[in-house]
């Protein structure tokens, strides 16, 4: 099994992601690579968490909010995280990586 499949991406590799290993059930074209979970902080005034990249908004986080991410899209632009769905249950949501910093 490759290092990427075993969640062994280092910080440099994480910044150069260009392919995916997991496909979301509701968007087969969306490739997501599972990563070793870590914490990020929102750096913009607010950050929308979405059902899919550029999709409908689940919730909005304010500046400084800490979030635990466990995946990144194949293009390296969106983090995946578990969130409580306002409709019920826990689901994967996506936040735009550019507006976060690793902590």
Concatenated DSSP letters for 35-56?
EEEEEEEE-SSEEEEESSTTS-
pLDDT of 42 strictly over 80: yes
Domain ranges for the chain, please list them.
11-102
Model confidence band, residue 12 (pLDDT cutoffs 50, 70, 90)? low
Question: Token pair for residue 87?
Answer: 């409709």
- Domain 11-102 is of which CATH architecture? Roll (2.30)
Helices then strands, each counted (H, E), the chain: 1, 8
Q: How confident is the model at residue 2 (pLDDT cuts 50, 70, 90)?
A: very low
pLDDT tens, residue by residue, 55-95: 999 999 999 999 999 999 999 999 999 999 888 888 999 99
**pTM summary value:** 0.74
Alpha-carbon distance 19 to 33, whole Å? 8
- Please classify residue 30 by burial: count the beta carbons closer than 10 Å to its beta carbon, then call 0-12 exposed, 13-18 middle and 19+ buried: buried
H or E segment and range at residue 17: none
Q: Mean pLDDT in the chain?
A: 81
In this prediction, residues 37-51 reach a mean pLDDT of: 97
């Amino acid at each position: 099994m490759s290092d990427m499949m075993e969640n062994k991406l280092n910080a440099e590799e994480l910044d150069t992601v260009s392919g995916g290993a997991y496909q979301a059930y509701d968007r087969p074209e969306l490739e997501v690579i599972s990563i070793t979970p870590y914490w990020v902080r929102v750096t913009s005034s607010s950050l929308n968490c979405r059902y899919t990249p550029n999709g409908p908004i689940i919730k909005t986080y304010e500046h400084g909010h800490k979030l635990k991410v466990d995946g990144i899209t194949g293009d390296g632009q969106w983090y995946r995280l578990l969130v409580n769905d306002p409709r019920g249950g826990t689901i994967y949501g996506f936040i735009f990586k550019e507006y976060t910093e690793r902590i």
